[in-house]
Amino acid sequence: MTSAPQAAARTAVRRARVWLTRAAEPGQAAMYALVRLVGPVEAVHLIRSRQAPPTVQSAVGTRSEDDRVDQDISVARRFGIRLVTPEDAQWPVRMLHPMVMATERGLLDIAPPLAVWVRGPVPLDEAVERSVAVIGSRASTAYGEHVAAEIAFGLADRGWTVVSGGALGIDGAAHRAALAAEGVTVAVLAGGLDRPYPAAHGALFERIAGSGLLLSEWPPGCAPYRRRFLIRNRLIAALSAGTVVVEASARSGTASTARRCRELGRSLMAVPGPVTSAVSVGTHELLRGGDDGGARLVTSTGQVLEEVGRLGEDMAQPPRAPPGSRDGLDALARAVLDSVPVRRAVAPERIARAAGVAVLDVLRVLPSLELQDLVELTEGGWRLSQAERRTGDHGAGG
């Protein structure tokens, strides 16, 4: 059961996130940092009263005066679209974890999503739990579409979700094959889910929304501008255990996809083709790699699963903090850590109270403690990390 004040607070957070999805283009580090620091409600308040840091304020611009929350919620409802936020149980915490960590470490020039709009019957976290992205050129050949379909069908047939970008060509072939195998497929789009783009994929998107998920960071009505595809691409990499590029022309968007996979520690794979084919030039570039590390050559579903299976094992063993890492903490960090509960997760406010320090100080310290694998953020709030819980060397909290 939920109390009335709790429900009201949750609604406020939710409405704040709706507002934020329209306020600025997704992926902006300053915006992400602000929301992480003060929470979405306070972030919206600061932006609307023009008290947010200049980088955030300028990212939002005149949109700070707009309020289309009610309209967005109403349009979304009409189209069967819902917002999934980090506060929801179905938020894909595990899949997004490397992206969150890389952002905290300042390794990414593009931040995790603040929330995503989705349409379809599958809970988001379940949909992407075991997933592989199959992407490629819009100017695909019959060969490329055939191979994309073979691999996607095989993945879906073995219970893996096929993630792709919903575009013409390779993306469409991958989605269709996953549907044919009666598997789950997720189309990660670069505009509002009420506006099918490309229009020719309207019927395909309806089928995807019937058994899988349409997903976008942009609220209803947003047009799929060119730059949005690059922002979107990081999410395809983040929401898949690995990405298979089937066909790509020279210097296409695959270079950015390759970089994202590398940044997130996700496997990048590429399917070769005839060297005489213009849309295999990009995949061969990836396979030649060079300074960028490059992609792994795959020719079948089996080889794809071999690759992501190996990665899955790696992911199952997160890096451990070296023993005794508590020793290097300053007095504030130590006080905060000693006030984090062992098992039950709590809000930063409660930790602040227990530690006798300001909430803002707690919010500043927690991310660095998380980086050191001393605490972890769960749906319910913060608690000691699994490694810390095991050591038994913890203070008064909990």
By CB under 8 A, name the one of 11, 300, 386, 391 that touches a copy of itself.
300
Nearer to a copy of itself, 276 or 317 (CB): 276
Among 63, 130, 138, 296, binds a copy of itself (CB under 8 A): 296
52, 287, 308, 340: which one binds a copy of itself (CB under 8 A): 287
Judged by CB under 8 A, does residue 147 bind a copy of itself?
Answer: yes
Measured distance CA(141)–CA(385) in Å, rounded: 49
Question: In this chain, which stretch among 14-22, 49-57, 117-125, 140-148 interacts with a copy of itself, using CB under 8 A?
Answer: 140-148
Return the range that interacts with a copy of itself (CB under 8 A); candidates 54-62, 175-183, 278-286, 319-327: 278-286
Using CB under 8 A, which of the segments 63-71, 85-93, 143-151, 185-193 binds a copy of itself?
A: 143-151
Q: Is 94 in the site for a copy of itself (CB under 8 A)?
A: no
Q: Is 362 near a copy of itself (CB under 8 A)?
A: no
Q: Does 288 bind a copy of itself (CB under 8 A)?
A: yes
User: Among residues 299, 378, 386, 391, which is the contact residue for a copy of itself, using CB under 8 A?
Assistant: 299
Q: Residue 154: CA atoms inside 13 Å, Cβ hemisphere, count?
A: 15
Give the shortest CB-317-to-a copy of itself separation in angstroms.
Answer: 23
Closest distance to a copy of itself from the beta carbon of 116 (Å): 34
Query: In Å, how far are 27, 51, 109 from 103, measured between CA atoms?
Result: 10, 24, 8
Q: How far is the CB of 147 from a copy of itself (least distance, A)?
A: 6
Secondary structure, 3-state, the chain: CCCHHHHHHHHHHHHHHHHHHHHCCCCCHHHHHHHHHHHHHHHHHHHHCCCCCHHHHHHHHHHHHCCCHHHHHHHHHHCCCEEECCCCCCCCHHHHHHHHHHHHCCCCCCCCCCCEEEECCCCHHHHHHCEEEEECCCCCCHHHHHHHHHHHHHHHHCCCEEEECCCCCHHHHHHHHHHHCCCCEEEEECCCCCCCCCHHHHHHHHHHHHHCEEEECCCCCCCCCHHHHHHHHHHHHHCCCEEEECCCCCCCCHHHHHHHHHHCCCEEEECCCCCCCHHHHHHHHHHHCHHHCCCEECCCHHHHHHHHHHHHHHHCCCCCCCCCHHHHCCHHHHHHHHCCCCCCCECHHHHHHHHCCCHHHHHHHHHHHHHCCCEEEECCEEEECHHHHHHCCCCCCC
- Number of residues counted as binding a copy of itself (CB under 8 A): 19
- Interactions with a copy of itself, residue window 255-274 (CB under 8 A): 271-274
Q: Can residue 142 be called a binding residue for a copy of itself (CB under 8 A)?
A: no
At closest approach, how far in Å is the CB of 173 from a copy of itself?
14
243 or 280, CB closer to a copy of itself?
280
Considering only the stretches 3-11, 142-150, 260-268, 325-333, report the one whose residues sit in contact with a copy of itself under the rule CB under 8 A: 142-150
Binding flag, residue 276, a copy of itself (CB under 8 A): yes
Residue 275 touches a copy of itself, criterion: CB under 8 A: yes
Residue 238, both tokens: 């983040």
Please report whether residue 169 would count as binding a copy of itself according to CB under 8 A: no
- Which CB, 262 or 296, lies closer to a copy of itself? 296
- If one asks whether residue 368 binds a copy of itself (CB under 8 A), the answer comes out as no
The answer to whether the beta carbons of residues 169 and 196 sit under 8 Å apart is no
The angle formed by the CA atoms of residues 349, 353 and 354, to the nearest 5 degrees, is 120
Q: Is 297 in the site for a copy of itself (CB under 8 A)?
A: yes
Q: Which of 39, 82, 97, 143 binds a copy of itself (CB under 8 A)?
A: 143
Residues from 302 through 321 that contact a copy of itself (CB under 8 A): 303
Which residues contact a copy of itself (rule: CB under 8 A)? Answer: 143, 146-147, 271-276, 280-281, 284, 287-288, 296-297, 299-300, 303
